[in-house]
Amino acid sequence: MSERDDQELVARVVSLQDTAAFGELIRRHQSQVRNFLRKLAGDFSVADDLAQDCFLHAWNKLDTFSGSGSFIGWLLKVAYTTFLQSKRKSKRYAEILESAGRVADLEQRTHTAANEETGDLDRFLAVLEEDERAIMVMSYACGLSHREIGDATDLPVGTVKSIIFRGKEKIRNTFDIQDHKHG
Amino acid sequence: MVEKMKDVDDKMLEALFASEPLPDNGFSEKIVGRIRRELWLRRLTLPTAVVVGGLIAVKPLLGLAGALLNLASLVPQRLVEQTAGAIPSMPTVVLGAMLLVVCLVGARGLED
């Protein structure tokens, strides 16, 4: 599976409206997109619904993919936009945040996680702001470069780097992790 | 040294953020199925609208055609013969249509 293969599939989808080629693109990238959204949304079923919406948006907007960056970078941008739009629409989310605050949000995220092993990660993610969370996940879970993250979030590379640095500091300070800089 | 230490942090975070690949389990088929249904709906929308619109409009159109025929029978024959000369002949109409097509093609060529 290479970036070139992805671009050939994209070309087939755009020029021929080839649904089989788009199905292959989904098969290749669904795991990364769903894992990304699961870490952002915290709820697995919500994340999978968002992933479906993301791929439907991607189908409709595929002609806007310029091919200059990686396809997964572009796809995660669509996923992040889908997540933000969904969150804006969801009054319930705002009500939960207002009434229960971030502590309850943390508890909820920990309880709704189906996999016990993700408990630590949920606690780490809960101390991050939303943009920090998205960027840290793109960087450490999806393996995107700083430039790709910048493209996905419409932020300059320098801002991406500083957000990652800030996120790491927050995690280190909140959980009292030994600073490796001092051995 | 600092870079090396940063790498340790990064590796710790990468290990923390790492996830098992999720099996497809029909996920892609579900989305492709939805897309195919939407494509069919889009393709069917225009013909369906034309058929439905035609069915709705057929009765008023027949009424209108009948009224026009009745109206035509009321126009005096002498008036019809006088205006017949003002209607352009078939070769003139064809020439005009050809000129229009040439202008449109030329305009498109200029845009490109």
Q: What is the pTM of this model?
A: 0.69
Give domain A127-178's CATH number out of 3.10.20.600, 1.10.3210.10, 1.10.1060.10, 1.10.10.10: 1.10.10.10
Model pLDDT, residue B57: 93
B43 touching A (Cβ < 8 Å): no
- Say yes or no to pLDDT of B59 above 80: yes
More confident call, A145 vs B89: A145
From the list B27, B34, B36, the residue facing A30 with the nearest CB is: B27
Question: Domain boundaries in chain A?
Answer: 1-85, 90-119, 127-178
Contact B35 A19 (CB under 8 A): yes
Q: What is the DSSP secondary-structure string of A58-103?
A: HHHHGGG--SSS-HHHHHHHHHHHHHHHHHHH-HHHHHHHHHHHHH
Model pLDDT, residue A95: 66
Which of A121-149 are b and which e, b meaning 16 or more Cβ less than 10 Å from the residue's Cβ? bbebbbbbeebbbbbbbbbbbbebebebb
CATH topology of domain A1-85: Rna Polymerase Sigma Factor; Chain: A (1.10.1740)
Model pLDDT, residue A89: 83
Q: What is the pLDDT of residues B62-71, one digit of tens each?
A: 999 999 988 8
Q: With left for phi above 0 and alpha for psi between -120 and 50, is residue A17 left, alpha or beta?
A: left
Contact B17 A141 (CB under 8 A): yes
Distance from CA of A132 to the nearest CA of B (A): 14
Work out how many CB contacts closer than 8 A connect A with B: 72
Q: How confident is the model at residue B80 (pLDDT cuts 50, 70, 90)?
A: confident
ipTM of this complex: 0.74
- Say yes or no to pLDDT of A106 above 80: no
From the list A19, A27, A168, the residue facing B13 with the nearest CB is: A168
